Amino acid sequence: MAKPKHDYDSEDFYKRIEGLAMNGYTDEEIANELNLCREVFTCMKNGNYENWTDEENKRRGERITNVLAHGRTRIVALLRGTYIKGAIGGKKTKSRIVKFVQDKCECMGADKKCPHCGGTGWVTLTDKAVVQESEMELPPNMQAIATLLYHHDPTWRKLENKQTDEDALYSENGIDIDKWMTDNTNE
């Protein structure tokens, strides 16, 4: 019988799977990284790999499934946190612009074959630079906020669904919604 590619009971094997899952790898990509065929990895994960005993399939299959779920849960939590921070705004971004100082060349642009300026008349002084740094705070993203509220606030979802139903009703009856809104806000 051929030697197994991995020690399927070692902690390192499962930590590697979890790390790959946490980095967003799919099952197929994880199988590829482990130098396993996708079908073999799927059988291992589902607990029906033919080269393992029933006890090994149950134990190892559950463990693979658990580390995949744990790794993917962690990355989803990080992504959700990033999405919420982006929705709320206030994230600071930094930019840095480096401008090099230019000086007139001795040839004043008269020599089109000048080795210093190439005929432009200007020489860039690489040892002198002006660095301009700026910091900007991102504004809230209203679409992201509305999406978060829709999925996590039942009251908001009811209001959104009611508004959508009313819009559909008025458009089906041929009512100009903008005109109706203008007429009804003046009352």
pLDDT of residue 148: 86
Q: What are the DSSP calls for 20-58, one per residue?
A: HHHTT--HHHHHHHTT--HHHHHHHHHT--TTS-HHHHH
pLDDT in tens, 35-50: 999 999 999 999 999 9
Q: Is the pLDDT of residue 15 over 70?
A: yes
Residue 146: how many CB atoms within 10 A of its CB? 13
Q: How far is CA 178 from the centre of its chain?
A: 37
State the pTM of this model.
0.54
Total number of residues shown for the chain: 187
pLDDT of residue 181: 65
pLDDT of residue 28: 95
Q: What percent of the chain has pLDDT over 70?
A: 86
pLDDT of residue 64: 96
Mean pLDDT comparison of 3-12, 62-71, 145-154, highest-scoring range: 62-71
For the chain, give every domain's residue range.
11-87, 96-137, 153-185
Q: Is the pLDDT of residue 95 over 80?
A: yes
